[in-house]
Amino acid sequence: MTAETGVGHGHVDYLKVYLALLVLLGVSLAGPLVGLWWLTLVTAFGVAVVKALMVAAYFMHLNIERRWVWYLLLLMLGFMIVLFAGVAPDVLQGEGQHWVKSSGAVPGH
């Protein structure tokens, strides 16, 4: 698209992109049908990432958008990873170097 008007996307066959997304939706259901957790991880979450990238690139036209818009959106995803990395140890671990999780009980009450 041109920067000024938002037009000029060139030729993208949106129907083909849509059909590819539907095929990927079918693939994402394969893991639970087979019942293997690792297959579910790949087919459901791996495919979700691919599908989201396809929607972003072709439907939202990020493939032809200014590069810094990608960086802006990825920065926000980076904040999500920082949140996860910072909080997950407290949630996932029962004890640390100088602390033990009290499982909700408040001492003295």
Residues near other proteins (CB under 8 A) are 2-9, 14-15, 18, 21-22, 25, 28-29, 31-32, 40, 44-45, 48, 51-52, 55-56, 58-61, 65-66, 68-69, 72-73, 75-77, 79-81, 83-84, 87-88, 91-92
Shortest distance (Å) from residue 68 CB to other proteins: 8
Nearer to other proteins, 7 or 100 (CB): 7
Residue 102 CA to residue 96 CA, distance in Å, equals 12
Backbone CA torsion sign across 52, 55, 56, 58: positive
Q: How many Cβ atoms sit within 10 Å of the Cβ of residue 57?
A: 16
